[in-house]
Amino acid sequence: MLTNHWNDNSILEKSFLEQNRIEPYALTSTPTISPSGNDMEVIMKIRSAIMVVVAVLLVSTLVACASFSAPTVRAYAGDERPETELSTVQFKGSGFPDIYLYRVDGKPRMELAKNTVAATFSDSASLGFAVYVLPGEHVFEFYNVHKTPFDKKSLDYRSIDFTTEAGKTYFISRKDNSWQVECGGETVPSTVAAIPVLPVPAAGAPQSTLEFKRSGTLIVAYVLRIDGMLSPTMSYFEPRWVAFNSPGVMPPLIRRDLAAIHSPLVDLSYGNLSIAIAPGHHIVEYTTDYLPMAYRCMGDLVRTIEFEAVAGKTYRIVVDKAAEGTSATEKIEYRVDGSTVQIVEE
């Protein structure tokens, strides 16, 4: 317990007094040596400092272990509905990066929403989520980073399929090494599955190439899904985002007007992408990240772009200069990147 280590004031007092060549006073009814006023003042300061440290540690522990509620985000199409006609699905966040809700019923968040982690449905404060959905069968897709200061688990992508009813609240939570859904204290039938991975064309089979190179721009176009599927190797960007792109090393400080200069602070491989895909029609889900001076402007929502790939051709993702670095509408109270991209044939 913390108190066993921190409340043994006599040890600290004795150590301090010995270092300063002051004899400790006897804690008896008839002390033979009385400390001076200055000595007592020092001792009281030590005790006060110990109590402050204990209080801070206790509060920090409680905050780390607590679960925080998240504002509810709309995750259904059509007109606004009253809460009585909707179902609420929640994951209680702890404030530590844990799981991020990326898709609901096959769709990422493609509308602006306050206080959400960029390109997800998750709450930026609690790092949990709460969404409104219409009653019926639903599939929630999330990625599990579960990154605390003491946890080094690898990324994990899962979907969970379950059915909801109007006016009820459902909670997604861990169960052993998997996941479950509960409502009113009862377990709801659900199916947990892995997110499918984009097939890699076999050697010698027809294939195309999709690329993104961060040259001449401070915008990174992160590819989050291709045809609803993951890359065989997804890269981890901070505790919040994962993508097809190369992680590189995050540039700590760059200026937009110096983008063409090969500064030693800039890792030119950061955000680059090159992946072989099968010929045919493809849908790319992406978000953008603008890297100005000393901070980042992550795109708030997910966008999609479609293209037709021809065997033997290379296709390049290009940031639309007309939209580069633009901010979102006034409905959002913080700066986000509003860039869009095009896909052009090389």
In degrees, to the nearest 5, what angle opens at C-alpha 299 toward C-alphas 297 and 300?
Answer: 115
Long-range contacts (CB closer than 8 Å, 24 or more residues apart) made by 246-249? 246/270, 246/271, 246/272, 246/273, 248/272
Per-residue pLDDT of 19-66, as tens digits, reads: 444 343 333 444 445 555 556 665 555 665 565 455 444 444 444 444
Q: How confident is the model at residue 214, as a pLDDT?
A: 80
Considering Cα of 346, then 246, then 109, then 277, what sign does the dihedral take? Answer: positive
pTM comes to 0.73
pLDDT-based confidence at residue 271 (cuts at 50, 70, 90): confident
Element (H, E) at 36: none
The 10 Å Cβ neighbour count of residue 301 is 20
Residues 207, 120: Cα–Cα separation, whole Å:
31
**Mean pLDDT, range 221-235, rounded to an integer:** 93
pLDDT-based confidence at residue 68 (cuts at 50, 70, 90): low
Average per-residue pLDDT in the chain? 77
Q: How confident is the model at residue 115, as a pLDDT?
A: 87
Q: CA neighbours within 13 Å on the CB side: how many for 230?
A: 21
Residues 198 and 166 sit within 8 Å (Cβ to Cβ): no
Q: How confident is the model at residue 198, as a pLDDT?
A: 96
Q: How confident is the model at residue 166, as a pLDDT?
A: 97
Residue extents of the structural domains in the chain = 2-65, 72-194, 208-345
What is residue 155's DSSP assignment? P
pLDDT beyond 90 at 241: no
Q: Higher confidence at residue 277 or residue 255? A: 277
Residues 9 and 16 sit within 8 Å (Cβ to Cβ): no
**Phi and psi, residue 38, nearest 5°:** -65, -40
Residues 52, 200: Cα–Cα separation, whole Å:
57
Per-residue pLDDT of 129-188, as tens digits, reads: 999 999 999 999 999 877 555 555 567 899 999 999 999 999 999 988 899 999 999 999
Which positions ≥6 away from 198 have C-beta within 8 Å? Answer: 226, 227, 229, 230, 231, 232, 275, 277
The 10 Å Cβ neighbour count of residue 77 is 9
Q: How confident is the model at residue 120, as a pLDDT?
A: 94
Alpha helices (runs of H) in 73-185, residue ranges in sequence order: none
What is residue 24's DSSP assignment? P
Give Cα 292 to chain centroid, integer Å.
Answer: 20
Question: Which among 225, 235, 163, 221 has a CA at the least distance from the CA of 196?
Answer: 225
pLDDT beyond 70 at 107: yes
Residues 220 and 214 sit within 8 Å (Cβ to Cβ): yes
Which positions ≥6 away from 22 have C-beta within 8 Å? Answer: 35, 39
Residues 172 and 130 sit within 8 Å (Cβ to Cβ): no
pLDDT beyond 50 at 272: yes
The 3-state DSSP class for residue 180 equals strand
